[in-house]
A = this chain, B = another copy of it.
Amino acid sequence: MREEELQKIMDNALEKSRGHIAFGKTADYIPELGCADRNDLGISIYTKDGKRLHSGDSDVRFTVQSISKVVSLAVALERCGFDRVFRKVGMEPSGDAFNSLVKLDLSSNYPFNPMINSGAIAVSSCLVSAVTFDEMLDITRELCLDGGIQINERVYRSEMANIARNKAIAYLLESKGILENDVERSLDFYVRMCSLNVTTDSLAGFGLALASDGIHPQTGRRMLDSDVVQTVKTIMFTCGMYDGAGEFAVRVGIPSKSGVGGGILSVVDREMGIGIYGPALDNKGNSIAGQCMLEDIAKKLKLHIFAADRYR
């Protein structure tokens, strides 16, 4: 497809989706997240053949939040191995909200999957003894093709000041013997990762890396093992959009991960990475206009993984 055509599709999707912003709202449980401009909306697409397209607010920095769960899972699988990680956390969609304690208390001895808070905190507790935070920052920058990623200190402090629910989750994990390291240190690592500042470009870069089997699009260097990338994409598909993952899979059909900062990371396998920003969220915590854009683009470009005439 020609670049102009793709650009037009992106621009149209963005304009069509703006109207949905009114039905969402910014995250309110962390004051600093509530300060985002709910009208911001942006998208970036990086393709395998080197195109880099943008529309809307693609240069705004926002915190990656839950999208960091993908980075953490990938690095944990690399550094700690599948067995060690999946002894701590399952691979099943939970059907519950991302911050629920119920299933963990009631029917399970480990978190359902690494894309919900409990699972990601368990993963962080593995990472703490395998990698320093500075290393994680470097890895994130490389995976996102974005050397400018930093911790957003204000969001980090705001999250640490409103950490009670995540502490409850972390101590429940600790009480079940799931954490490998100190609770507070694991949590701090987790929150730091959530507080990284990205743009839609960073997410498109990371998406392209995952679409390219973990190989750096420019240098050709392998950044992640092939089986790690395969696993991460699968879990994004089944669990990536909180308890809206199933409907998103039907409507859009692209492995994606959302964050309550308003970002969405999408991986069109073998083809492209997509980064989205739109901080007005639906009631499940996913960018409301962002999902709408993705659905529109997925239809136009035939990106659904089970589309009969899938783009390739």
Contacts and interface: CB of A to CB of B under 8 A. Distances in A.
Interface of A: 90-96, 100-103, 105-107, 112-113, 164-165, 167-172, 174-175, 183, 213, 226, 229-231, 233-235, 237-239, 243-247, 249-250, 253, 255, 269, 304-308
A249 B230 contact: no
Given A100-B105, A237-B238, A245 B93 contact: yes
Secondary structure type dominating chain A contacts:
helix
Given A113-B246, A247-B91, A230 B213 contact: no
Given A183-B164, A234-B306, A92 B226 contact: no
A239 B237 CA distance: 12
A181 to B, nearest CB: 13
Contacts of A250: 91, 231, 234-235
A307 B225 CA distance: 12
B164 A246 contact: no
B247 A90 contact: yes
B103 A95 contact: yes
Given A105-B102, A269-B306, A92 B164 contact: no
B105 A101 contact: yes
A306 B238 CA distance: 12
A21 to B, nearest CB: 24
Contact of A235 (B94, B105, B246): B246
22 contacts: A90-B246, A93-B93, A93-B246, A95-B96, A101-B101, A101-B102, A101-B168, A164-B172, A164-B183, A165-B171, A167-B174, A167-B175, A168-B168, A168-B172, A229-B308, A234-B253, A234-B304, A235-B246, A235-B250, A238-B245, A255-B306, A305-B305
Given A94-B95, A112-B95, A249 B237 contact: yes
